[in-house]
Structure 1
C-alpha cells in the first residue's frame, strides 16, 4: 500500500537532476522525501507525523504555498476590474489630498489667487468623498468575491457528485463491486467491457475479443486488438470498442499514461504562455516607446513580476455583457480623465496668468509653499471631476444583477458558473437528445414475450413453457450476458432490485427471476474463464454471441440481439412442444408482422434469443464470424420496456414554448422510437390541457 499511497508524489519529472529537485524543495519548505514518508503513513501515525514535523495542517499548507480556502483568490480576481482600479487610485488620491488645505490668510507679496477657492465647511468635508468611493469599491469587491465563491462551491459539490457517480467494476474479496473511479488503486482487478472508458493503466489478465480505441493517445483511428498472449497492455483514457475482459491495475492518477500526458501538456502550455507573453510585451514596448519612455526602465523586472502574478492568479473570463459594460466604463473613465486634466490645466493657467501676468508679481521664495498649496487644490478639483465622471455604480449594478440572475436560475435547476455560457445558450434553437437513460428511465423490464409459438403479453408462468425451452432460455441468458451484469437486492426494504451493469442484460436476467429461475448457479457451473469464444456486442453487430464447450466435446453458440437482425440468421425455431421446426422467410415475415411490429409500436425494445450447435471435429474457424453466427435456432423473442421519465414531457413542453426543437436520437427500431415519441407527445398534450384548464378555472 505504500507504493500506492505515494504514487502521486513520485510522478513529477525531475528536470535537471537533483539540482532541480533541491530547488523545488527550497521553494516549498518541504522535501519530496518528507512528503513520501508522510504519505506512507495512515491514521494516527500520519497525524502524529504532521504534528511533529509541521505543527499542524495549516502550517503544512503554508509550506506548500497552499490555502484551505479560495477566498483570497476570489478577492484578487475581483480587484482586477479596470473600473475598480481607477476608482481605487482616485479614492486614495482624493482621500490623501483632502487633508492638505491651503492657508486661510492672504499674503500681499504672493497675491490673492482666486482659482479653486472654497469655504471652510466644504474643505472640512472633503475626505467624505474619498471615503465613500473606497467604501463603494469594498462593497463591489466583497459582493463579487462572495458570488464567485458561492458559485464555485456549488460547482465543486456538483463535480464531486459526478465523480462519485463515475463507477467501475472491480473484484474485491471475490465479489464484483462498483466503486468510484477515484477509489481505484494499484492491484485492483478491474472488469472491462464494451463502452467503458478505462480510468487506469493495467495488464490484461483475461479477454474476450477485446478491441481498444487508442486514438486519444496515438492518433490512430484503427481499433487495436488486445490479447493476453500478444498485446496485454491497457492504457487509461482509451475506449473499449468491442469485447470484455479483466485487467490488473498497475498505474492510477498522474502515474497513468493519461495523467503523464496531461501533466506534460500543462507544463508545455505554461512555457508557451510565458514565451508568448514575453514576445507580446517586447512588441508592445517597441510600439509605445515614443509615448511611454519612462516605463522602459521597468521592462525587465516588473514585466516578469507581472507575468508571475498573472500566472499565479488566473484572470477571470468575462461574458459579452460584462465585456461591453467594462469597455463602456473604461471609455467614460478615459473621457473623464481627459476632462479632469483639461480642468487642472485651465485652473493652473488661469492662476499663473492672473498672478504673474495681470498683477505682474514675481515668484518669491517665501511664496513657494503658498503656490504649491494652490496647485494641490487645483489637482484635487481635477480628481473630483474624474471621480464624478467614472461610473462607480456600474460594476456594482452588474455584480448584483449577475448574482440575482444566477440565484434565480438555480431555482430552475440551472447551475450557471459563467454567465457567458448562459448568453450562448440563449441562441440555441435545437436540442438533439439521446433516448436511453436521458428521455427514458434506463430501467429495462421484460413485459412481453413470444415463446413456443405463443405471444405472452405478460410474464408467463413457468408451467406454460416447455421445460426444454425453459432450460434453454435460462442457459442462453445466464451465459450470454456479461458476467458484470447482475441483479442486486434493493437498498431499501420494499424497493426495486438494483440493476448493475448493462441495463438490457439486467432486464433479461430479471426475466429469469420472474420465471422463478436463478442465473447464479449456471454462472458458477460455467465461470467466465471457461467461455470458449465471445463475440461481444457492438453497434455494427447489434448482437452478442458466446460459445461454450459441451461435455461431449462439441460446441454450443448462444446469441442474442436486435430481433430484426438476428431473425434473418435463424433457419429454425422451437415450436409449441419444444421441438425444432423450420423457420422459412415466410414464417419470419409473419412473425415480424404479428409479433415484432406490435411490440415495437407499443414502445418495446425487441430482443431475439437463439442458439446453434457446432461440431468439434473439425473445429470451426472462430475468426470467420459470418460462418459461425448463422443457421441459428430461435428460442424466444422478448419485448423490453424502458419507461419515459415522468419529468420529460413538461421539460420538452417548456423547450417548445421557448422556440427550441427537441429531436430524439436513438439506434433502436424506428417503430419503437416512434412509439416512445408518440407516447411522450401524448403526455405533452395532457400537460398542456392540464395547464390550460388550470388557467381557465
Structure 2
C-alpha cells in the first residue's frame, strides 16, 4: 500500500508545482514522515523505481568511434585514395609515406580526444557529493546518487544542494543560484511561504535547486525531484538534444579538400586529353595524370592542423579550460560575440577588496585571495599598517562582524597553503583583506568570541555582533590593548553607510 502511494507521487511529480504547496501537503503527497524520514526498505524501493539521482550523460565514444571520427574529413579521404592509387601503381615508398601521415594524424587526434574524455569523467567523479539525510529516524550521510524523492535532506553553508528540495526549515539560509539563474547575489530562502503556481524559477524562495551552493545558514527540505527530473536535469536534457554541427575549421578544410580534389581531377583530365591527342600512349599519359593528382594532394596539411590544435588545447588547459573536442579549439578562437545573461554566469562569483578609505586616507590592496598574501599600498608604495590605525580597526570590525569562514584547500604551486572562502562573497572579501593584514579569523575569534548577534536585515541594512574582549594583544589589529578592558564587551556594526552613520554620535 505504501509503495502504491509512491507510484502515485511519481506520476504527480512532473505536473505538481511544489512551491505552491505547504510542507505538510508535500509530505502527504510523497508519503514521507517529516520527523523520521524514509525507512531503508522504502528508500531502496524508490531508488529502484526512480533510478539514481544523477544527470544522465551521453555514452562516452568508444575507441573505434574516436578513430573513425579522425577520418571524417575530405582531405584525409583524399590522402587515403592517393595512397591506394600509389600502391596500385607500384609507388610503395610514396604510398607508405602518405599512409604514415594519415596514421600519425589519426593517432594524435584519438590521444587528445581520449585524454579530454578521461579528464571529464574524473571531474564528474569528484563532483559527486555526499548528502546528509534523515533515514530510519536518524541523520546519516549517503552518496548523492542514492537520494530518492521523499528523502529529508539537511543542507548547511558550503554544501551543494544534492537534489531539488521543497524547504521545510530555513535558518538564515542563502543560496548561490548563479549557475542556474545567472543571479550573482545570494538568494535568501524562506521555508514558510507559499507561492503562486506560475512564479518564475528565480523567485521560488521556498525551494532549493540541485547544483546550487549554500552560501550561509542551514536548512532542511523534502526531495521533490531527482536526476533528470530536476531543473538542472531538464537543462541537461535540452543540451543533449542539440544537434552537433561541424566546426568552422572542419567546414573550411572540407571545402579546401573538395576544391583541391576537383582542380586536380580537372587538370589531370586536361593533361591526359592533350597528351593523348598529341599521340602519346594512353597508359603513359594516365600514369602522368595520376602522378600530378597525387602531387596536388597536401599530405602534410592534416598533420599540421592536428598538431596546431593539440598545442592550442595544451595552452587552454594551462588556463584551466578543458576542451572536449580537438576541433573546438579553433571554434573558440573564431568566436566574435558571447551573449550572456548576468555577472554570476561568467565570473567566479567572488569579490575582492582592492581599495580602502579610512581616516581620510586611501589604501590599495594587492595580492592573491587564494594564498591570503598581499600588500597595502599608498601611492603605489607598500606601507606599514601600524601607521594607519583606522584602517586596522575597520578590518578588525569587518573580520569579527562576519559569518564567512576560510577553509584550507591545499598547496598553491609551492607558494604556501591555499584557502577557499565559504559564505557570502562580500563578507569573504573582508575576511581575506583582514588576513592580508595578518589577522586570521580563527585566532581573532578566539581573542574576541561572539556572544550575541542581530543578523543582517534588509530593513535595518546592518548586522550587529557583540564580542567578549577575552584575550586582546598589543600586536593584533584591534584597538584594544589596555589591561583594564579585559573581560569587557564591544559591539561591532557593519552595514550600509547611511544606516550606520545614523547610529553614530562621532566618527573617525
Normalising by structure 2, report the TM-score. Answer: 0.52
1:95 has 2:87 as partner: yes
For 2:193, the equivalent position in structure 1 comes to 230
Task: Decide whether aligned partners of structure 1 residues 326 and 248 sit closer, same or farther in structure 2, where only a CA change above 3 A counts.
Answer: same
1:426-468 Cα offsets, whole Å, 9 max, x none, are 999xx999752997443599x989xxxx958879xxxxxxxxx
For 1:206, the equivalent position in structure 2 comes to 169
The answer to whether the 8 A contact 2:164-2:226 is kept is no
1:342-391 Cα offsets, whole Å, 9 max, x none, are 3344456667xx9xxxxxxxxxxxxxxxxxxx877765544332211111
1:32-74 Cα offsets, whole Å, 9 max, x none, are x9x959x89xxxxxxxxxxxxxxxxxxxxxxx9966x753333
1:336 has 2:336 as partner: no
For 1:567, the equivalent position in structure 2 comes to 500
* In 2, Cα distance between equivalents of 1:234 and 1:519: 32
Pairing of 1:472-511 with structure 2 (within 5 A): 481-482=402-403, 485=404, 501-502=422-423, 503=428, 504=430
* In 1, Cα distance between equivalents of 2:100 and 2:347: 49
* In 1, Cα distance between equivalents of 2:309 and 2:409: 44
1:220-246 Cα offsets, whole Å, 9 max, x none, are 9999975333334333367889x8541
Task: Decide whether aligned partners of structure 1 residues 73 and 260 sit closer, same or farther in structure 2, where only a CA change above 3 A counts.
Answer: same
The answer to whether the 8 A contact 1:340-1:383 is kept is yes
Q: What secondary structure does 2:70 align onto? A: helix
Q: Which of 439, 444, 447 matches 1:514?
A: 444
Task: Decide whether aligned partners of structure 1 residues 399 and 130 sit closer, same or farther in structure 2, where only a CA change above 3 A counts.
Answer: same
RMSD of Structure 2 on Structure 1 (CA): 6.3
For 1:394, the equivalent position in structure 2 comes to 301
The answer to whether the 8 A contact 1:487-1:510 is kept is no
For 1:73, the equivalent position in structure 2 comes to 65
For 2:234, the equivalent position in structure 1 comes to 261
- Structure 2 runs not aligned, ≥5 long: 4-9, 15-44, 195-205, 339-345, 355-365, 375-383, 467-490
Task: Decide whether aligned partners of structure 1 residues 169 and 499 sit closer, same or farther in structure 2, where only a CA change above 3 A counts.
Answer: farther
Q: Which of 383, 388, 409 matches 2:290?
A: 383
Residues matched between the structures, number: 375
For 1:110, the equivalent position in structure 2 comes to none
Higher helix share: 1
For 1:629, the equivalent position in structure 2 comes to none
* In 1, Cα distance between equivalents of 2:497 and 2:457: 18
The answer to whether the 8 A contact 2:173-2:214 is kept is yes
Task: Decide whether aligned partners of structure 1 residues 206 and 343 sit closer, same or farther in structure 2, where only a CA change above 3 A counts.
Answer: same
The answer to whether the 8 A contact 2:161-2:213 is kept is yes
For 1:419, the equivalent position in structure 2 comes to 329
For 2:475, the equivalent position in structure 1 comes to none
1:161-192 Cα offsets, whole Å, 9 max, x none, are 9x65x98996899xx99999889885430126
* In 1, Cα distance between equivalents of 2:333 and 2:153: 45
* In 2, Cα distance between equivalents of 1:218 and 1:416: 23
The answer to whether the 8 A contact 1:543-1:562 is kept is yes
Task: Decide whether aligned partners of structure 1 residues 220 and 481 sit closer, same or farther in structure 2, where only a CA change above 3 A counts.
Answer: closer
The answer to whether the 8 A contact 1:191-1:245 is kept is yes
Q: Which of 93, 108, 114 matches 1:143?
A: 108
Shift of 1:204: 1.6
For 2:352, the equivalent position in structure 1 comes to 436
Pairing of 1:339-350 with structure 2 (within 5 A): 339-346=267-274
For 1:247, the equivalent position in structure 2 comes to 220
* In 2, Cα distance between equivalents of 1:207 and 1:511: 26
Shift of 1:201: 1.0
* In 2, Cα distance between equivalents of 1:432 and 1:263: 21
Q: What secondary structure does 1:188 align onto? A: strand
Task: Decide whether aligned partners of structure 1 residues 349 and 491 sit closer, same or farther in structure 2, where only a CA change above 3 A counts.
Answer: closer
For 1:297, the equivalent position in structure 2 comes to none
The answer to whether the 8 A contact 1:200-1:256 is kept is no
Normalising by structure 1, report the TM-score. Answer: 0.40
* In 2, Cα distance between equivalents of 1:426 and 1:218: 24
Task: Decide whether aligned partners of structure 1 residues 202 and 70 sit closer, same or farther in structure 2, where only a CA change above 3 A counts.
Answer: same
1:134 has 2:53 as partner: no
* In 2, Cα distance between equivalents of 1:211 and 1:410: 34
* In 2, Cα distance between equivalents of 1:535 and 1:415: 37
Task: Decide whether aligned partners of structure 1 residues 448 and 203 sit closer, same or farther in structure 2, where only a CA change above 3 A counts.
Answer: farther
Task: Decide whether aligned partners of structure 1 residues 149 and 404 sit closer, same or farther in structure 2, where only a CA change above 3 A counts.
Answer: same
Task: Decide whether aligned partners of structure 1 residues 380 and 207 sit closer, same or farther in structure 2, where only a CA change above 3 A counts.
Answer: same
* In 1, Cα distance between equivalents of 2:286 and 2:191: 82
Q: What secondary structure does 1:79 align onto? A: coil
For 1:189, the equivalent position in structure 2 comes to 154
1:453-484 Cα offsets, whole Å, 9 max, x none, are x958879xxxxxxxxxxxxx9xx998x754xx
The answer to whether the 8 A contact 1:543-1:561 is kept is yes
Q: What secondary structure does 1:386 align onto? A: helix
The answer to whether the 8 A contact 1:167-1:178 is kept is no
The answer to whether the 8 A contact 1:211-1:226 is kept is yes
Shift of 1:84: 0.6
Greater Rg, structure 1 or structure 2?
Answer: 1
* In 2, Cα distance between equivalents of 1:477 and 1:437: 13
Shift of 1:91: 2.8
1:75-108 Cα offsets, whole Å, 9 max, x none, are 2222112111112233334434x3xxxxxxxxxx
Q: What secondary structure does 1:261 align onto? A: helix
Task: Decide whether aligned partners of structure 1 residues 223 and 444 sit closer, same or farther in structure 2, where only a CA change above 3 A counts.
Answer: closer
